[in-house]
Amino acid sequence: MIQIKDLHKSYKMGSSSLHVLKGINLTVEEGELVAIMGSSGSGKSTLLNIIGMLDLLDEGSYELDNVLIKDLDETKAAKYRNKFLGFIFQSFNLINYKTAVENVSLPLYYQGMKRAERQEKALKYLTSVGLLDWATHLPSELSGGQKQRVAIARAMASEPKLLLADEPTGAIDTQTSNEVMDLIQKINQEGKTILVITHEEDIAQMCKRIIRLKDGVIVEDTKVNQVLATQYV
Amino acid sequence: MFNQDRWQEIFETIRKNKLRTFLSGFTVALGIFIFIILFGFGNGLKNSFQEFFLDDATNTMFIFAGKTSEPYKGFKANRRIEFTNDDLYDIKDNFPFFLEYITPRISRRATVRYKNEFDNYTTRGVGPDHQYAEKTIMMEGRYVNELDVKNKSKHAVIGRLVARDLFKQEDPLGKFIDVGNSVFKVVGVFQDDGGDNEERFIYIPYTTRQSLEKGNDKIDQMIVAFRPELGYKGSLAFERQLRVFLKEKKVIAPKDPNGIFIRNIADNIKQNQQFANVLQLIVTFVGLGTLIAGIIGISNIMVFIVKERTKELGVRKALGATPKSVIQMILQESIFITTISGYVGMALGVFLLKNINETLEDYFIKNPYIDISTALFATLILIIFGGIAGYIPAKRAASIKPIVALRDE
């Protein structure tokens, strides 16, 4: 699903430049649930941004679903993102004046789907995260866990090849975290490839594979025995 | 533009961000409203000005006779020149190309009496065309006509204030008044925009005046009107030729500055017109200033709105919105709001101007108005600049990387 070869990325900070990623080689197969761990400054967010086409790489190559991702202008990146990727953010990033169902249907709007169809599909995904009853509520009327579930439904709605979760449990309590991870695991069991960035060890243990980053290089890449979140829910 | 889905998305955004919509709409509406009111007031001021200075016909010349100051062809200096009726006919015959009409004017003070009421008034012996020269407006009856002149009828046309003072509530038409010990029949009552003094005149046929003065044929002054299409330059040529003609006829030295005086109203008009133009310039300037203030207002609001929406735009971009669709969304929304509110502001402004009408006349604002094309043009300008003002920050927001926009808390 993902093939990254010799990836370098540095940021210009005034006159000096900060070398953030120093030669990353990474292959992720379809259906994997991968945790990317590392302390802050390890480059894990930068890696996710590049995989998510929110940022450009300097050197190396990146293939997503056998499509070489290069020479991205904003328009092309937007189309790829819409087609390939679903995002789950730490701070949910729901649009606050749109109801849950409207938020979920937004990526479908950018796919050019008809309104009625959009609505139907959005409701289907809201149902799958157990929030059908909250469809017409605004984000401000939802709890943190509910918001993240709406965000997951939104990420799923466009039926992406790859789900990218940036600290999905960073802003919610443990109990709710387990619920969210349970949901992520279930989505993974249906065959979706998911990348989770986290710095919480127990969250990482709920994935199938852990990649540890330190100072811009991968220091550890291990398969783990997945801890199922269902037991905590 | 006519994508129904996009419109729905925009209406939704507008409906759910009422404060934002109100702010930008209000700025535009207020801008255009103030522009229209100020512009209208400016026009009202111009109207008042024109009424003060331009109440008489503007294509006339007044010809007076005086004393010569140079001896010429055997005549001594200091000779009094006088006009007579045949001067009228001669001018009529010799200047058919320039002349629109000519009328004499013989002014005399007289005590005028009706029953127990009496007062001193100025009577003017005139011809029928005098009505056009003074732009006299008939309220009742008629003006002095050709028949009056021919028959030397003792008919009088009295001013509104004469009628009010002498006749009180009575209808003066057909009544007889005593003018300097001769009896005149009132055949008309007039009003004049030139003010109260102009409504205290009494007009009588000039021939009647002459017959009262021992049947002479002398004329105080002549009022000559040139064809308006000749314009200012034509009037100057006419004036020059008229001067030469009359000096020759009255045997006055060509270089003599006295003897005959011609006052060309077109000269006054030209000065007044210049003043009116300056007034117009000020009005335009104030209007432009208001418009620019409005443009700056909407620009500020647009920058603020886009700033406020940076994160939302980042989310939209992460979800697959292209830069183009982001710009389009912001622009379409802003143009929609400015168009609607611009139109509302314009309508309100025009409505208010229409209702002000006469109420501000005490402040020298008469019939304030704005022509609809100016109003539409100003609204359009504001919409266009509102669009540009939205486009610049929208373009910047659309080019911000979503990752940066998402970090914007």
Asked if B19 reaches chain A (Cβ–Cβ under 8 Å), the answer is no
Report, as an integer, the average pLDDT of B391-396.
84
Give the pLDDT confidence score for residue B408 in this predicted structure.
56
Q: Please list every residue in chain B whose beta carbon sits closer than 8 Å to the beta carbon of residue A159.
A: none
Domain span at A131: 2-232
Q: Are B269 and B91 in contact (CB under 8 A)?
A: no
Query: Quick check: A82 and B320 CB within 8 A?
Result: yes
Quick one: what percent of chain B has pLDDT higher than 90? 28
Q: Please give the angle made by the CA atoms of B130, B133 and B165, to the nearest 5 degrees.
A: 65
The closest alpha carbon to B119, from B160, B165, B171, belongs to B165
pLDDT greater at residue B16 or residue B127: B127
Give the pLDDT confidence score for residue B74 in this predicted structure.
86
Asked if B170 reaches chain A (Cβ–Cβ under 8 Å), the answer is no
Report, as an integer, the average pLDDT of A77-100.
88
Give the pLDDT confidence score for residue A221 in this predicted structure.
92
Listed ranges A199-203, B205-209, B270-274; the one with the highest mean pLDDT: B205-209
Q: Nearest Cβ partner of A115 from B5, B17, B399?
A: B5
Report, as an integer, the average pLDDT of A164-181.
88
Report, as an integer, the average pLDDT of A217-231.
89
Q: Nearest Cβ partner of B320 from A102, A110, A115?
A: A110
Give the pLDDT confidence score for residue B133 in this predicted structure.
86
Report, as an integer, the average pLDDT of A55-76.
86
Q: Count the neighbouring beta carbons within 10 Å of the beta carbon of residue A124.
A: 14
| Amino acid (1-letter code) at residue A48 | L
pTM of the model: 0.66
Query: Quick check: A107 and B409 CB within 8 A?
Result: no
pLDDT at B2 over 60: no
Find all residues with CB under 8 Å of B389, minimum gap 6, and list them: B295, B298, B299, B302, B303, B334
Confidence of residue B224 (pLDDT cuts 50, 70, 90): very high
Tokens standing for residue B242:
């008229």
Distance from CA of A77 to the nearest CA of B (A): 8
Q: Please list every residue in chain A whose beta carbon sits closer than 8 Å to the beta carbon of residue B308.
A: none
Q: Please give the angle made by the CA atoms of B45, B48 and B53, to the nearest 5 degrees.
A: 125
Query: Quick check: A154 and B319 CB within 8 A?
Result: yes
| R_g of chain A, CA atoms, integer Å | 18
Listed ranges A39-43, A115-119, B51-55; the one with the highest mean pLDDT: A115-119
Angle of helix B372-399 relative to helix B323-356, nearest 10 degrees, comes to 160
| Amino acid (1-letter code) at residue B346 | M
Query: Quick check: A49 and B403 CB within 8 A?
Result: yes
The residue of chain B nearest to residue A94, with distances taken between CA atoms, is B315
Q: Nearest Cβ partner of B317 from A55, A78, A94?
A: A78
Query: What is the rounded distance in angstroms from the CA atom of residue A128 to the CA atom of residue A100?
Result: 13
The closest alpha carbon to B66, from B252, B254, B266, B267, belongs to B252
Query: Quick check: A74 and B322 CB within 8 A?
Result: yes
Q: Are B138 and B152 in contact (CB under 8 A)?
A: no
Of chain B, the end-to-end C-alpha distance in Å amounts to 32
Report, as an integer, the average pLDDT of B385-403.
81
Chains A and B form CB pairs within 8 A to the count of 69
Distance from CA of B17 to the nearest CA of A (A): 8
Report, as an integer, the average pLDDT of A170-184.
89
Query: Quick check: B320 and A107 CB within 8 A?
Result: yes
Average pLDDT, chain B: 85
Query: What is the rounded distance in angstroms from the CA atom of residue B20 to the CA atom of residue B305?
Result: 7
Query: What is the rounded distance in angstroms from the CA atom of residue B136 to the CA atom of residue B158?
Result: 11
Domains in chain A: how many in total?
Answer: 1
Q: Are B341 and B21 in contact (CB under 8 A)?
A: no
Query: b/e string for B254-287 if b means 16 or more Cβ within 10 A?
Result: eeeebbbebebbbeebeebbeebeebeeebeebb
Q: Look at A148-162, B109-123, B126-140, B277-291 and tell me which has the smallest mean pLDDT.
A: B277-291
Q: Look at B2-16, B160-174, B208-222 and tell me which has the smallest mean pLDDT.
A: B2-16
Query: What is the rounded distance in angstroms from the CA atom of residue B52 to the CA atom of residue A127?
Result: 79
Distance from CA of B20 to the nearest CA of A (A): 12
Q: Please list every residue in chain B whose beta carbon sits closer than 8 Å to the beta carbon of residue A87.
A: 318-319
The residue of chain A nearest to residue B5, with distances taken between CA atoms, is A115
Average pLDDT, chain A: 89
Report, as an integer, the average pLDDT of A28-37.
93
Match 């065959």 to its residue by tokens.
Answer: A191
Query: What is the rounded distance in angstroms from the CA atom of residue A218 to the CA atom of residue A203?
Result: 19
| Widest CA span in chain B | 108
Give the pLDDT confidence score for residue B54 in this predicted structure.
61
Q: Are B191 and B139 in contact (CB under 8 A)?
A: yes
Helix (H) or strand (E) holding B204: strand B201-205
Asked if B396 reaches chain A (Cβ–Cβ under 8 Å), the answer is no
Confidence of residue B358 (pLDDT cuts 50, 70, 90): low
pLDDT at A100 over 90: yes
Report, as an integer, the average pLDDT of A113-130.
91
Match 């300056």 to its residue by tokens.
Answer: B278
Give the pLDDT confidence score for residue A15 in this predicted structure.
83
Give the pLDDT confidence score for residue B407 in this predicted structure.
65
Mutation pick from B319, B333, B396 vs chain A, by most beta carbons of A within 10 Å, is B319
Q: Please give the angle made by the CA atoms of B15, A94 and A192, to the nearest 5 degrees.
A: 135
Tokens standing for residue B355:
């209702």
Confidence of residue B409 (pLDDT cuts 50, 70, 90): low
Query: Quick check: B322 and A158 CB within 8 A?
Result: no
- Residues on chain A bordering chain B, Cβ-to-Cβ distance under 8 angstroms: 49, 52, 54-55, 74-75, 78-79, 81-83, 87, 89, 91, 93-95, 97-98, 102, 106-107, 109-111, 114-115, 154, 158
Give the pLDDT confidence score for residue B256 in this predicted structure.
87
Tokens standing for residue B345:
């502001």
Asked if B322 reaches chain A (Cβ–Cβ under 8 Å), the answer is yes
Q: What is the ipTM of this complex?
A: 0.88
Report, as an integer, the average pLDDT of A177-185.
91
Give the C-alpha distances (Å, rounded to integers) separating A6 from A3, A23, A52, A58.
10, 4, 17, 10
pLDDT at B277 over 90: no
